[in-house]
Amino acid sequence: MKTRWIWLVKMVWLFSLLPNTSFALDSLTDAQLKQKGQAFVAAKEARQQPNSTIEDVERYIDLLSDNFIDEYVQYQVTFAADKAKLKARLIEKLKDEVLEHQVQILQMMTGPNVVMLKIAEKGKLKPAGQYRVIKIDRVSVISLEFDKQGLISHIRRHGKQ
């Protein structure tokens, strides 16, 4: 796991050297990036609670740029932006019975308009229409790239989801 984390740190550093539109703007400050990373984790956690509402989903969606990319690196799957479809999917997931869900930031690093998050998630949920409870206990690494408006333009999810 430590080797994977070191590899990811190197990748963030390499990405910071590439000419990329998300890096073209004046960089967000370290404090701004940390606040945005914390806001992402808080919104992710808030939309996956027993009492989550459509407003929680909207707060999460509001963090994303209109043309964001959501990439699951391990599975080589990338979703192009469609905030309306994502919102509809997340609202549909509100029908799942969330028994508990916590997200904790274990580590956070920043680079030029990039935040790397190592998070721990624990929880229990019962998907709508199913009788089996699914236990969640995982550590994930997520990188967030920000556009000129300070919105998330690219989410990369590393490791098992």
pLDDT of residue 159: 75
pLDDT of residue 10: 53
CATH number of 2-158: 3.40.50.880, 3.30.565.10, 1.10.1740.110, 3.10.450.50? 3.10.450.50
Taking a C-beta distance cutoff of 8 angstroms, is the pair 33, 113 a contact?
yes
The CB density around residue 116, as the number of other CB atoms within 10 Å, is: 22
Taking a C-beta distance cutoff of 8 angstroms, is the pair 5, 108 a contact?
no
Place of tokens 């690219």: 154
Structure tokens that stand for 54 in this block: 């459509």
pLDDT per residue, tens digit, the chain (161 aa), is: 666 656 555 555 545 544 444 444 478 999 999 999 999 999 999 999 999 999 999 999 999 999 999 999 988 999 887 899 999 999 999 999 999 999 999 999 999 999 999 999 999 999 998 999 999 999 999 999 999 899 999 999 997 65
Distance between CA atoms of residues 50 and 36, nearest Å: 24
Taking a C-beta distance cutoff of 8 angstroms, is the pair 9, 109 a contact?
yes
